Each structure stands twice: as structure tokens, then as C-alpha cells.
Amino acid sequence: MKRVFLFAMIACLCLAAWGGAALGEAAATEEAASVSAEELLQAGKDAYEAKDYGKALECWQQAADQGSVKALCNLGNLYREGSGVEQSYEKALEYWQKAADQGDALAMCNLGGAYYNARGVEQSYEKALEYWQQAAELGNADALVSIAYLYGHGEGVEQSFDKTMELYQQAAELGNAQAMANIGNMYLFGDGVEQSYEEALAYYERASELGNDYAQTNLAYLYFNGFGVEQSYEKAAEYWQLAADQGNAYGQANLGSLYEQGKGVEKSYEKALEYYQKAADQDSGYGYVSLGDLYAQGKGVEQSYEKALEYFQKGVDLGNAYGYVGLGDLYAQGKGVEQSYEKALEYYQKAADQDVPEGFVSLGDLYAEGQGVTQDYEKAAEYYRKAAELGSEEAAERLKKLAEEGHVKAEQ
């Protein structure tokens, strides 16, 4: 199966950070207590980064008892993650609400995120918008990005790319790297603006310089394909490496693909396996499907159709339609499963239904060879043509071959 290069869709979630939240007010005569709260906050941060979540909980609880709003926000984070405590969105919401009631913008952002994602509450775009607007009025750039996302998708509001761009620009002017990356996306896709790889590149570069890993994955995408820049696998590898080093699953999976193919880096199935596994560990469907490919072909691992089947299925379960092609191949060839063209056809069709070029190519192959279906060159040509329209060179070659053999008319 051909490797597929995905660029990141930007996730606009407001997560409470260590900085930026105001301390709760304490009486002026209790300066020592205020200093103590700051020290406890820092001690909790150090413990959290050392994965001593019990200590972080203790420190932040003491800081919260002294009136620290930031500590309340961080306690909410612990309950959201289940770090050092039993995971509970309800407890997270309780702490965030306490912080929000004291004017904390980050807590408002998290409450908005909870309503957007239905975490501990009934899903409500309207409530998400309400909390994000409150945070935005306090100058929180992440909230502006999240509201822009709602307008871009018409969720809880009337869709408006003009409003989306306006809000992203406001956030970008505040130095928000995510907003810059999202503006780059708008130019990449031509959403509400004239499509421009050059403008996309400029915004991605600004965001990348600020360390935004999503912008780095998209810069890699531009360089890999030569969109708006001179094509360079080396530059693609450089940016995907930067993103991968920050734990970005898209960067990890795509970097693994470069190592598998030896593009821009020295070919190494071992490195490919390493990065695919890192992506899969973050529930990346692309990572699982890529692992399935390695096991199906025995690249860098002992060949195992059973493992391939497992990974393709996990990829599909996580929404990666390319996994259907892998499953179809196993059933078509009877590898690790009982041979069944009927099942292969079913899986290839599922891939094609999601515009996966390889799904159309595989369907075309079945009809061209009469495997599990009545041989039909016109039907095969139809599927190859659809795949070719989606950019498959393999399909174009198959279509050309059918014409050369006199099975169908040559393409005009």
C-alpha cells in the first residue's frame, strides 16, 4: 500500500497552562502567604513535570487554600487527566468553575472546551461560545482561536470565514502561534480567501518560529509536495522531525514514512517502526495502518499477517480509511484470514467511499481480473479514472494499459 502523507488539521482547544492565570487576591497584610502560594505553585509544577502527581496535588491544594486561582485551574487539570487522582471531569469542572468565578480566563477556556467536547456535561456549542467569549473579553488569545473555529465550522453560530479570519488575525496580533497556523490553513485551502501557498507558507513559518508543531507539520507537507516552495524531502524531514520531537503524532507518522522510503533521510525500517509506534501510542490511525504495512511486508520486523490484521483494524477503528485497503488486501490474498474476494470488495468499497485512491485502484483490479466479480473492463476503467482524478499515478498507468490492450477506448 502506498504511504499517505497527511497534514495536520488544527485542533483549537484551550488548555490551562502554568502561566497566565492571576493569583487569587489575598489580604495585603498576608504578603507571606501570597509568596508561599507562589512557591507552592512552582513546587507543584516541578513535581508534575517529574511525574510526581501526588506531590503536585498536595502543593496545588495548599496553594488553592491560600487563594491561588491558578492552583484551582491546575487541580482541574489533574482531575481531567486522572493524574494522581481518579479521573473525573465533574471534579475538573468544579475546580475550573471556581477559578472562572474569580475571573480566570484559562479556566473559562477549559470550561468552553468541556462543553464543546461534552466532557462531564451535555455537549453545547452555545455554552462553549459563552465561556470562550468571556475569556476573549479578558484578552485571552486561545479563546479567540476557539471562537474562530466555531465560525469556520458553523457550530453554534452562522458559518462565516470572514469572521473566522478576523478573529484569527486578532489572536495572531497577540502573538498566538496557533492562530497563525490556522490562518495558514485558510490560505492553503482557500477558505474565505484566495488560495495561496505563498501566504500559507508565510504564516506557517511565523508559527513554526514560535514552536508550533502543527505549523511545522504543514510546512513539511508544503516542502514534501513542492507547494509554493522548491520541492525538498530534506526540508520536509527537518520540519516533521521538529514536530515529532514535540510529540506530534502527524510528524512522527510522516517522519516514519520518510524513513521507510528513504526520502530526505537514510532508509531505515527500524527508524520507521520507531516513529510509527510513537504515533500509534498516541492513538494515531495513520500510525497503526503504517505499522500494519510493515508487518504485512516484513519490513524491519518478522512478517506477521496476524499483527498486520490487528493494526489495520485498529487504524480503521480510529477513523483511518486507508486501513480498509490493508484489510482488503489481506482478504483478497488470503493472508492471515480465510481468502474472500467478497470481503476484499467490501473493504475496498469502504475505502473508496472516503475517496481513498488506493480503494478505487483495488476495486478496478478486481473488475479487471474478474476476481469475485464478473470481469468488466469498463467498470475497471471507471474506478481507475476516479483514482487518477484523485492523483493516483498508478491508476493512470493501469487505465493506459487497458486502452493499449484494446479493452477500453483511449482517454482523450
pLDDT at 20: 31
pLDDT at 36: 82
Task: Reply yes or no on whether the pLDDT at 30 is more than 90.
Answer: no
177 and 152 in contact (C-beta within 8 Å)? no
pLDDT-derived band at 27 (thresholds 50, 70, 90) equals very low
pLDDT at 212: 97
Task: Reply yes or no on whether the pLDDT at 333 is more than 70.
Answer: yes
Task: Reply yes or no on whether the pLDDT at 19 is more than 60.
Answer: no
Task: Reply yes or no on whether the pLDDT at 24 is more than 50.
Answer: no
- Candidates 150, 83, 72, 84; CA nearest to 115 is 150
- Strand ranges (E), 181-287: none
Average pLDDT over residues 42-60: 96
| pLDDT tens digits for range 168-178 | 999 999 999 99
Domains of the chain: 341-412 (1.25.40.10)
pLDDT at 65: 95
What backbone torsions phi and psi does residue 347 show, to the nearest 5 degrees?
-70, -40
- CA distances to 263, 284, 323, 379, 392 from 275, rounded to whole Å, are 15, 11, 18, 39, 26
Average pLDDT over residues 82-104: 97
| pLDDT tens digits for range 340-360 | 999 999 999 999 999 999 999
* Between 16 and 383, the higher pLDDT residue: 383
Task: Reply yes or no on whether the pLDDT at 265 is more than 60.
Answer: yes
At 83, which helix (H) or strand (E)?
A: none
pLDDT at 410: 83
Percent of the chain at pLDDT exceeding 90: 90
Percent of the chain at pLDDT exceeding 70: 91
pLDDT-derived band at 256 (thresholds 50, 70, 90) equals very high
- Candidates 206, 123, 208, 214; CA nearest to 169 is 206
- CA distances to 9, 134, 166, 192, 305 from 181, rounded to whole Å, are 10, 23, 14, 16, 40
pLDDT-derived band at 412 (thresholds 50, 70, 90) equals low
229 and 201 in contact (C-beta within 8 Å)? yes
Q: How many residues does the chain have?
A: 412
pLDDT at 60: 97
| Separation CA 93–CA 85 (nearest Å) | 15
Average pLDDT over residues 104-129: 96
Instruction: Work out the mean pLDDT of the chain and round it to a whole number.
Output: 92
SS3 231: coil
